[in-house]
Structure 1
Amino acid sequence: MPKVWIADKMSSRAIEVFKARNIEVDYKPGLSDEEKLSIVGDYDAIAVRSSTTLKGELLEAAKRVKVIGRAGIGVDNVDVEGCSRRGIVVMNTPFGNTITTAELAVAHIVAAARMIPQASESTKAGKWEKSRFMGMELTGKKAGVIGAGNIGAIVCDRLKGLHMSVFVYDPFISDERASAMGVTKVETVAELAETVDILTIHVPLLAATRNLINADIIGRMKKGSILVNCARGGIVDEDALYDACASGHLRAAALDVFATEPARENRLFELDNISCTPHIGASTNEAQENVAVQVAEQMADYLLSGVVSNAVNVPSLTQEEQRLLAPYLLLAERMGSFIGQTMKPGYSRVKVSFEGKAASINRKPLINVILQGLLSQSMEEVNAVNAGMLAKDRGIDISETGSDSSDHFATLIKLEVEGDEGVRTVSGTLFDERRPRLVNIDTCEVEIAPVGNLIFFQNEDKPGVIASIGAVLADAGINIGDFRLGRREDTGSAVALIQVDTPPSQDVLDRMSELRHVLEVRYAELGDM
């Protein structure tokens, strides 16, 4: 009988789930480090929240552990890489908090519009300032939602229920998906800011989203509008927000998250038109119960039948499977990453074709790493296990085909992605069954190793293009490591892939785009082999 240790405080429903599945469970939260070390070796699985840190000595002592379950989203307290090396599956519960976090955002919107926190404080102080608290009616107003994932999509639905017009910025949803949601998709955050009366944020904190809402974006918002952030601290420039609220440019702001937490001191607290809560997005009885039940069910499924749900690390493979799949996995990830960086998001369809030897191997991991490469440019915590689920959540149709034969190669993978920008294709093969190569891009034969800094461009097949491209790179002091060309005789167009020693700046790419006969310039960083 498998044995589970619940190491942190958790709803008793988790215990009930394990016992109902005939799994032995010990509920022992709050132990000292010495006590944890003395018992951790007795368990096949550990369920945690955020208090217990499963790293270093404690993880090393967990000799029997096969699965770790985190009742919540973040796994910062677990050494995921160390678990992967040892074949330990790490699971989280990404959906248990979605509704409660979405509801908090809507509550903040309503409270900010009607000045409820300020009116409550005034009334309790013995005042009766009816004329001071003149609110904003939400019906008929325009709401802007940044990020239409699990939480953002629920917020959109709730705001529509308040009879608001909802506009969305999310580069990962297609026009078709936006239409199905009943929202209007916009192309930039700036456009969204200029359009709406209320702006609410539901994206992860990544390099691309840090200070996404900066002084420029806040300045573009309508005078008298409202900003709400229940996502992550650091997405909003707090200094810029302070200035906008202090000057009266923004009517109000509401925050559940801060750049530094716990936020015991913050200059934003000085302003009466900024309402704050202490990161309570997941703090409801229902949410706490949901994540406890969900993590227990997932762990039980894995312990009893090997079913993996919401894992944040790639399941372990046998040595033989790893040996066979390793070069294919690298090729597949690089193909997905190449399209993810050379085609703007808003994908609606992904089709993968396996030909020759590629059709006879385990294709599921290859599909997953293709989607991982495609989505990982702007998505938080996407990996080879959850990429398929995240793609389907975004309304992306995924299909695959297999054929035992291939026209030119012993093994071949073809990837076709359709989205708001149209269709982009890339094909890849293995030389000597181990060296990945891209061999066809947008129906044009061109061969190069998917490695390093790649500039991809399409152009009219006219004299002088290559020389002018080279001149731009030379002026920027960028050395060319490899230069591969392909031509389409029937259309009079050509493509090229340039491997450069150093990443080009956006200015360099813009200068290349402006050259005569150049149709498109894109850039991808694909890493080392």
Structure 2
Amino acid sequence: MYKVVVCDNISEKGIDILKNEKDIVVEIKSDLDKKELPKQLGDADAIITRSSTTVDKEFLSYCKNLKVIGRAGVGVDNIDLDEASKKGIVVLNMPTGNTLAATEHTMTHMLNCLRFMPNANYELKYKHIWDRKKWMGIELFGKTVGIIGMGRIGTQVAIRAMSFGAKVIVYDPYIPKEKATRIGAKIVDKLDELIENADIITIHTPKTDETYNMISYDEIKKMKNGVILINCARGGLYNEDALYDGLKSGKIRALGIDVFENEPQPNHPLFEFDNVFVTPHLGANTFESQIRVAEGIARSVIDALKGRGYENAVNIKMEDEEISEIGRQFLGLAERMGSFLSQYTKSFIKCIAIYPHGEIEKNANSLMLFTTVGVLKNIVDEHVNYVNAPYLIEERGIKTQIKPFERSTEFKNLLVIDIEYDDDKHIEIGGAVFEPNKARIVFMDGFDMEIELSGNIIVFKNHDKPGIIGKVGEILGRHNINIADFRLGRRKDLGEALSFIKTDQEVDENILKEIMQIDGAISIAKVKL
């Protein structure tokens, strides 16, 4: 028998699913004082929580028998994932149950910004003013809706916007182009193209270093006058000070916002504008979504307890005895190599192929798993871990291949990863471990070099001629950017050089553009690890 304790209020539909399992005993503790709650979980096999229960280290110290934590929702900020992992507890969430609710909430904000419905309602209902001329709106039909990020929610918003007769353009470098074109949307390669052409912009990306303040002063300047902006995804994707300035100048016609950088947010400078429509993070707040989430997490908890699957897991304890000593040293390197490649390409990845050489060949499956986790962490709007990575890879149509290493090499153990992206482009890097805590990549696309994948890295390719590297250093110095490490590889057969430049701080895109103006520059990218 398994004991499942429900710690927070969830839909009865989910509780019924648990109760209908013959070998599961369900206890409802949602009304119990939160300080007293963990003391009664000593024999619980699984718990189900929402955001009201904080599952921290002290909480888990009482849970001697706990195997599974089910989070009835997406976010797991209230759960100490590291501590749960150390104790071998699998943490599950429900990333898809709120998709339709968040989609419809986005559309509600969009329509409010077009027609100013809340304002007209308030004036008529509470001020008793009948003024039709004041509330002249605009139509969604014929407008161009720009969608940044085309995951589950972004895709559903696109479909609904087109059903209104709107045109949809999409920016998401991490999806196959046919995903957008298949539903009738246009996908663009540059964010600026979307920004400059959209009448309405809605953002649906994860919050990462790349997307934080993704829309700021420079981006708003490039937008159409009278643009409408929507954010029902994550606080911090739009720079809130830049939004204020855009509203003050009249550049932004209206703003619909459900999320803020700091929450809860009972008061904000944006609230002073009548053309700003705000809600207190209500994207998932529908009865239907709460039922779906409760039913989904109940089934996931049952499957996890019975060993049938962990599709929505956000962590897992890796069993050390399954990995050789040298294999363990390569796992972290594999994950960093995957993260490096996805950041470097910033494109839809079609295929990940790994070529393990030496003793690490016996750990090929684990190396592939860690590589895919590294790749996915930068491109999906979900918690990625060693359980759900295979599901997410399959869902996004990315192929994975483990191949034998058939080249000569001086390295006893070597991991080569080849990424296929965009129009049959490839990039290949090789990594080796020289001693404990000394993992390095040793080549990239035929350029030999040795560098640790950590910190802020600029990857710069140029024609191999005198003076170029000096100019790069001069530009960085002029912008007060300190170089922490510099490695150079050369290919005389191509007449090209490849530099890895580690800096003490992240380098602004405008500085990268300045470097690309150097005569002889071929390409540049930045990576943060």
Provide the TM-score with structure 2 as the length reference: 0.88
Structure 1's 190 and 60: CA in aligned 2 closer, same or farther, altered over 3 A? same
| 1:487 maps to 2:491 | yes
Structure 1's 454 and 56: CA in aligned 2 closer, same or farther, altered over 3 A? closer
Q: Distance in 2 between matches of 1:322 and 1:403?
A: 19
Q: Tell me which amino acid in the other structure corresponds to 1:183.
A: A
For residue 215 of structure 1, report the CA deviation from its aligned partner: 3.6
Q: Tell me which amino acid in the other structure corresponds to 1:23.
A: I
Q: Secondary structure at the match of 2:403?
A: strand
Structure 1's 264 and 350: CA in aligned 2 closer, same or farther, altered over 3 A? same
Which residue does the alignment assign to 1:213? 215
Q: Distance in 1 between matches of 2:482 and 2:245?
A: 41
For residue 268 of structure 1, report the CA deviation from its aligned partner: 3.3
Structure 1's 502 and 37: CA in aligned 2 closer, same or farther, altered over 3 A? closer
For residue 451 of structure 1, report the CA deviation from its aligned partner: 4.8
Which residue does the alignment assign to 2:345? 343
Q: Tell me which amino acid in the other structure corresponds to 1:10.
A: I
Which residue does the alignment assign to 2:367? 366
* Higher mean C-alpha displacement, 235-244 vs 162-171: 235-244
Structure 1's 225 and 454: CA in aligned 2 closer, same or farther, altered over 3 A? closer
Which of 429, 443, 448 lines up with 2:432 in the alignment? 429
Unaligned runs of 5+ in 1: none
Which residue does the alignment assign to 2:443? 440
* Higher mean C-alpha displacement, 320-329 vs 97-106: 320-329
For residue 153 of structure 1, report the CA deviation from its aligned partner: 1.3
Structure 1's 329 and 118: CA in aligned 2 closer, same or farther, altered over 3 A? same
Q: In the TM superposition, what whole-angstrom CA distance separates every residue of 1:51-98 from its partner, at most 9, and x where no partner exists?
A: 111113221111110111100011111111111111111111111101
Which of 456, 460, 467 lines up with 2:459 in the alignment? 456
Which residue does the alignment assign to 1:52? 53
Q: Distance in 1 between matches of 2:213 and 2:455?
A: 28
Q: Distance in 2 between matches of 1:456 and 1:519?
A: 11
For residue 362 of structure 1, report the CA deviation from its aligned partner: 4.7
CA contact (8 A) 2:353 2:403 kept: no
Which of 189, 194, 197 lines up with 2:196 in the alignment? 194
Which residue does the alignment assign to 1:160? 162
Structure 1's 496 and 289: CA in aligned 2 closer, same or farther, altered over 3 A? same
Structure 1's 323 and 61: CA in aligned 2 closer, same or farther, altered over 3 A? farther
Q: Secondary structure at the match of 1:17?
A: helix
Which residue does the alignment assign to 1:354? 356
Q: Distance in 1 between matches of 2:183 and 2:157?
A: 11
Which of 163, 172, 188 lines up with 1:170 in the alignment? 172
Q: Secondary structure at the match of 2:146?
A: strand
| 1:70 maps to 2:74 | no
Q: Secondary structure at the match of 1:361?
A: helix
CA contact (8 A) 2:208 2:378 kept: no
Which residue does the alignment assign to 1:10? 10
Q: In the TM superposition, what whole-angstrom CA distance separates every residue of 1:410-462 from its partner, at most 9, and x where no partner exists?
A: 44332222334832211223446985342331134444444555543333344
CA contact (8 A) 2:414 2:432 kept: yes
For residue 502 of structure 1, report the CA deviation from its aligned partner: 3.6
Structure 1's 45 and 210: CA in aligned 2 closer, same or farther, altered over 3 A? same
Q: Secondary structure at the match of 2:311?
A: coil
Q: Distance in 2 between matches of 1:459 and 1:69?
A: 51
Structure 1's 52 and 479: CA in aligned 2 closer, same or farther, altered over 3 A? closer
| 1:184 maps to 2:190 | no
Which residue does the alignment assign to 1:303? 305
Q: Distance in 2 between matches of 1:215 and 1:267?
A: 17
Q: Distance in 1 between matches of 2:490 and 2:113?
A: 57
Q: Distance in 2 between matches of 1:39 and 1:425?
A: 53
Structure 1's 525 and 146: CA in aligned 2 closer, same or farther, altered over 3 A? closer
Q: Tell me which amino acid in the other structure corresponds to 1:400.
A: Q
Matches within 5 A, 1:404-423: 406-408=407-409, 409-420=411-422, 422-423=425-426
Q: Distance in 2 between matches of 1:182 and 1:311?
A: 33
Q: Distance in 1 between matches of 2:61 and 2:286?
A: 34
CA contact (8 A) 1:140 1:165 kept: yes
CA contact (8 A) 2:355 2:405 kept: no
Structure 1's 262 and 396: CA in aligned 2 closer, same or farther, altered over 3 A? same
* Higher mean C-alpha displacement, 106-115 vs 471-480: 471-480
For residue 198 of structure 1, report the CA deviation from its aligned partner: 1.2
Which residue does the alignment assign to 1:88? 89
| 1:273 maps to 2:275 | yes
Structure 1's 318 and 334: CA in aligned 2 closer, same or farther, altered over 3 A? closer
CA contact (8 A) 2:338 2:371 kept: yes
Matches within 5 A, 1:472-511: 478=482, 481=485, 483-489=487-493, 491-497=494-500, 500=502, 502-503=504-505, 505-506=507-508
Q: Tell me which amino acid in the other structure corresponds to 1:8.
A: D
Which of 335, 338, 348 lines up with 1:333 in the alignment? 335
* Higher mean C-alpha displacement, 332-341 vs 202-211: 202-211
For residue 356 of structure 1, report the CA deviation from its aligned partner: 4.3
Structure 1's 342 and 265: CA in aligned 2 closer, same or farther, altered over 3 A? closer
| 1:100 maps to 2:104 | no
Matches within 5 A, 1:124-143: 124-125=125-126, 126-143=128-145
Q: Secondary structure at the match of 2:265?
A: coil
Q: Distance in 1 between matches of 2:190 and 2:430?
A: 31
Q: Distance in 2 between matches of 1:238 and 1:468?
A: 36
Q: Distance in 2 between matches of 1:10 and 1:312?
A: 20
Q: Secondary structure at the match of 2:416?
A: strand
Q: Tell me which amino acid in the other structure corresponds to 1:436.
A: A
Q: Secondary structure at the match of 2:182?
A: helix
Structure 1's 49 and 474: CA in aligned 2 closer, same or farther, altered over 3 A? closer
How many residues matched? Answer: 522
Q: Percent identity?
A: 37
Q: Distance in 2 between matches of 1:39 and 1:504?
A: 47
For residue 472 of structure 1, report the CA deviation from its aligned partner: 6.5
| 1:398 maps to 2:399 | yes
CA contact (8 A) 2:304 2:310 kept: yes
Q: Distance in 2 between matches of 1:229 and 1:60?
A: 39
Unaligned runs of 5+ in 2: none
* Aligned residues: CA RMSD: 3.0
* Higher mean C-alpha displacement, 305-314 vs 466-475: 466-475
| 1:257 maps to 2:259 | yes
Q: Distance in 2 between matches of 1:196 and 1:501?
A: 36
Q: Distance in 2 between matches of 1:356 and 1:441?
A: 20
Q: Distance in 2 between matches of 1:111 and 1:479?
A: 49
CA contact (8 A) 2:46 2:66 kept: yes
Q: Secondary structure at the match of 1:312?
A: coil
For residue 102 of structure 1, report the CA deviation from its aligned partner: 0.5
Which residue does the alignment assign to 2:117? 116
Q: Distance in 2 between matches of 1:216 and 1:472?
A: 21
Provide the TM-score with structure 1 as the length reference: 0.88
Q: Distance in 2 between matches of 1:33 and 1:23?
A: 24
